[in-house]
A and B are shown apart, each in its own frame.
Chain A
């Protein structure tokens, strides 16, 4: 009897965790189908599935373009970070050289930078390169977020690989480049998936740079577009369209998380320093 009660209590706790985690998203989803005065009567259940808000963000705003911008920025940033991260991780994880410890410290230190501390310098740099209000400027800026973190995680993963494989390759006369490409790249693919995914989420969610380094609505990324979504009147925010936009942006991330959850957890844990 007490065992049954304990079991019920436990399931209630789990249910509470689930509700707290998911309710805001559920409520945004339900709200996104409401328009006009309907929106202003809070109710927990959906009444009907009216897609007006969704149509509005794509026709009255450049939201489709914003999604494309976010995609482009995030994909380029991920590709660059993975490429640079792999080469750096090879050196940091597999070769013993003077200055490796300080180098790892430096890279970790960059990942702890407050973004605001590089903002004015970044603004000047992006302006000077003629990249202000253009996507390449954002790609460049986002590297400061994703690169240190990618190098760090990939280094952690690469240390775990057996050294016999590498020795065999060297004994066979492979150049370092060949060793990296033919031996490590295939072995590192399972590590690159979660690392790339985490970098993608970082770049997709980035706000401060995207907000400061772009001006026109055509070059905005999704977070900036949502933050600046405004309606006809000054007083009232268009909550319906904002919720619709939130749902559109969140759904792909939820799907990614559900598919790759095990790998994401592995990447997150590897990224944390094991003190």
Chain B
């Protein structure tokens, strides 16, 4: 670059150009992300209502926590909010763990050469690609208490005696949500792991074979350590997805308390109860939780965003 420098100062011109090229994207992001986020945070300090967003008053932290006449109010004093927090956290931990295990199993199977491997790999992309609303509806139909095929098959096999209302009963609803999410997201994990598996150096395995190390130990001592970066990445991405889950739960179980995630709670306040101030406070809390997790993960993992940049 330096040897072929055109007149004037090429580096400074290039830097200026960088900002010119970035400007449209930065402006677009400011309009669709920065501004709405700032307004949401602002609304969380007001008593704004959805029917008329131009008239509202500043209420300080009242939407978050307020003490009045011997009683606590606000999102942070609400049992439903803390229920939503625990549902979301439980869901995130269990679903992501299951998806890692199943994803690894599927990736290991697809890493073996066999006829029609390409077709199988394409087929497992299907659950991932179809809209969440559609997968929720398809599963809602299969899980239907009276006419669902799952109850039919389980009763036919003698596993259950009476039909179970999977999505309606509080004991099973969260498991139903979990099943659909695992079904839908495992392919994403599996493909990330498969890509990582195919980049592993083969000589390790040959050396292990020479040393008489069996496949199970090779998996445990060679494959898994080498896959660690891919696993961590996939876990971060999926965990952030799980923390903000909305579509699947909304379509499958609507606003039921036993499956209410933080996003569902926030939207219920915001839209169903028209309370923009309160709903925005809940949204802002969810944003803060996700931001904190993201920042700590990035700091802990020392992820290098600018890696691979040469020029």
**Interface residues, chain A, CB within 8 Å of chain B?**
10-11, 13-14, 17-18, 20-22, 24-25, 27-28, 31, 39-42, 44, 80, 84-85, 87-88, 90-98, 100-101, 103-110, 112-125, 127, 140-141, 143-144, 147-148, 151, 156, 159, 163, 167, 170-171, 173, 176, 180, 201, 204-205, 207-208, 212, 222-224, 226-227, 239, 242-243, 246, 249-250, 253-254, 256-258, 261, 264-265, 268-269, 272-275
Contact = CB atoms under 8 A, between A and B. Distances in A.
Interface stretch (B170-178, B183-191, B202-210): B183-191
Contacts of B109: 10, 13-14, 17
Contact of B33 (A20, A80, A144): A144
Contacts of B130: 25, 205, 246, 249-250, 253-254
Contacts of B53: 123-124, 127
B55 interface: no
Contacts of B28: 80, 84, 143, 147
Contacts of A204: 131
Given A40-B146, A201-B129, A269-B195, A85 B25 contact: yes
Interface string B258-270: 0000110011001
Contact of B126 (A40, A114, A118, A257): A257
Interface stretch (B67-75, B91-99, B217-225, B282-290): B282-290
A170 B10 CA distance: 10
B21 A88 contact: yes
A125 B240 CA distance: 26
Nearest to B117: A14
Task: Determine chain B's interface SS by DSSP, over half rule.
Answer: helix
B20 to A, nearest CB: 8
Contact of B132 (A25, A207, A239): A207
B1 A265 contact: no
B246 interface: yes
Contacts of A25: 126, 130, 138
Interface of B: 1, 4, 6, 10, 14-15, 17-22, 24-26, 28-29, 31-33, 35-40, 43, 48, 50, 53, 106, 109, 112, 114, 118, 120-127, 129-135, 137-139, 141-142, 144, 146-149, 151-153, 183, 187-188, 191-192, 194-195, 229-230, 232-234, 236-237, 240, 243-244, 246-247, 250-251, 262-263, 266-267, 270-271, 276, 279-280, 283-284, 286-287, 290-291, 294, 298, 301, 303, 305-311
A14 to B, nearest CB: 6
B43 A120 contact: yes
A196 B37 CA distance: 26
Contacts of B271: 212
A93 to B, nearest CB: 7
Given A113-B33, A113-B37, A273 B137 contact: no
6 contacts: A14-B109, A98-B15, A223-B131, A242-B141, A246-B137, A268-B192
Contact of B125 (A108, A208, A264): A264
Given A257-B129, A272-B233, 16 more contacts: A18-B123, A18-B124, A21-B126, A39-B147, A92-B18, A97-B14, A115-B263, A118-B37, A125-B35, A140-B31, A171-B6, A226-B137, A243-B138, A249-B134, A268-B191, A273-B236
